[in-house]
Amino acid sequence: MYQIRQNIATKEWVVIATSRARRAQEFTQTKERLSGDRPEWDAACPFCPGNEEPAPIEQMRLPAEGPWQVRVVLNKYPALLPEGPRVRHFAGIYRWMSGVGGHEVVIEAPRHNWCMALGTVEEVTQTLTAFQMRGLCLAQDPRIEQIIWFENHGLEAGTSLDHPHAQIVALPVVPYHIRCRAEEARRYFDDTGVCVYCQMVEEELASGERVIAANRDFVAFIPFAAFSPFHTWIVPRRHNPDFLAASAEELSALADILRNVLRRLYFGLRDPDYNYVIRSAPLRDVGREYMHWYATIIPHVTKAAGFEMGSGMFINPALPEESAAFLRAVEVG
């Protein structure tokens, strides 16, 4: 199968070339120790209970009383500084600004060997609730334009610490890439009068062949132009540009479906390294009619290389319909 597919929302093209590839199960990882095989507590881990940093670093914990389930702390090696003015500089043709913003770490569980695939829906909901609570706080800061929530799970996904943790970055600028996506969604809305993400959800539910799971509030599917094997979008059924405006019911439904998909990856492919990201509209320019927040999971079972850097396109050696069928068939209890 040789096809070049376009993602209707992002306008990005992806080469689907399955003859280079392997059947879905051939992406199964060969790692010796899965995340759940780690010890439940590690004396040397800075995120394990008993090793907590002093209070000024901690931004919040859930529950507020008693033993914590989720803690949010300032990143000790931040990419952006929390204090200082947002100042633009111009010198010749160059432009830069002060590196101010937020960079926080969400410790997702006290247990060193926890991960979303192995946690309960309630535990995952706590993490998502912390995401939203800290996001609402950071969004109050007038310097902040964009918030990104993400996790790096495993070495290939760029993590440096085993203990389950996610990150929140609050940026003083809207990334170019996010501006482009907003622009394409706006054009689609102007041309058709509908949100392109709502449209995709409708088409995916109608065809069903790329759907992995669905619940009352969300649909999880492999996009038609998925850029890598098992690349998944989890899109809310309700039109809403802003993750910060997701309801409590939606957070718990997201926890349910995110855990569901991650369990399929964990048990179906032996705990592949992955990133997940929550993509939400820019804070001050939410494109109320055409933007639509969603979560995405990117398992690292192939490597981006020179072609991807030179073209911005990807080569996906797996057919999205087959990847979806494979994940649907995984028994996750």
Token pair for residue 121? Answer: 């829906």
**Which string of b and e fits 131-147 if b means at least 16 CB within 10 Å?**
bbbbbebbbebebbbbb
Binding test (CB under 8 A) with its own copies, winner from 172, 236, 287, 299: 172
Which C-beta is closer to its own copies: that of 120 or that of 192? 192
Surface-to-core class of residue 47, CB atoms within 10 Å of its CB (0-12 exposed, 13-18 middle, 19+ buried): buried
Give the interface size with its own copies as a residue count (CB under 8 A).
75
Q: 18: Cβ–Cβ under 8 A, 6 or more apart, which residues?
A: 1, 317, 318, 319, 322
Residues between 265 and 294 with contacts to its own copies, criterion CB under 8 A: 275-279
Give the nearest distance from C-beta 32 to its own copies in angstroms: 19
- Select from 161, 214, 201, 197 the least CA-distant residue to 290: 197
Residues between 203 and 232 with contacts to its own copies, criterion CB under 8 A: 203, 207, 224-225
Report which DSSP code applies to 255: H
Q: 305: Cβ–Cβ under 8 A, 6 or more apart, which residues?
A: none
Binding test (CB under 8 A) with its own copies, winner from 73, 107, 185, 200: 200
Q: Interacting stretch for its own copies, rule CB under 8 A, among 29-37, 107-115, 167-175, 249-257?
A: 167-175
Binding test (CB under 8 A) with its own copies, winner from 167, 245, 289, 325: 167
Give the nearest distance from C-beta 298 to its own copies in angstroms: 6
Residues between 103 and 142 with contacts to its own copies, criterion CB under 8 A: none
- How many angstroms separate the most distant Cα atoms in the chain? 61
Query: Position 129: which residue type?
Result: T
Q: Which residue has the tokens 């068939």?
A: 329
Which C-beta is closer to its own copies: that of 55 or that of 93? 93
**Per CB under 8 A, 5 contacts its own copies:** yes
CA 132 to chain centre: 14
**Per CB under 8 A, 32 contacts its own copies:** no
Q: Interacting stretch for its own copies, rule CB under 8 A, among 62-70, 169-177, 246-254, 322-330?
A: 169-177
**Per CB under 8 A, 11 contacts its own copies:** yes
Q: Pattern of binders to its own copies over 68-97, x per CB under 8 A? A: ---------xxxxx----------xxxxxx
Binding test (CB under 8 A) with its own copies, winner from 85, 193, 306, 333: 306
Between strands 13-17 and 314-316, the pairing is parallel
Assess contact for 9 and 184: CB atoms under 8 A.
Answer: yes
Which C-beta is closer to its own copies: that of 298 or that of 324? 298
φ/ψ of residue 262, rounded to 5: -65, -30
Which C-beta is closer to its own copies: that of 181 or that of 264? 181
**Per CB under 8 A, 13 contacts its own copies:** yes
CA gap 130, 157 in Å, rounded? 22
Three-class DSSP labels, 260-278? HHHHHHHHHHCCCCEEEEE
Give the nearest distance from C-beta 247 to its own copies in angstroms: 22
Report which DSSP code applies to 19: G
Binding test (CB under 8 A) with its own copies, winner from 36, 129, 137, 159: 159
Binding test (CB under 8 A) with its own copies, winner from 258, 261, 286, 298: 298
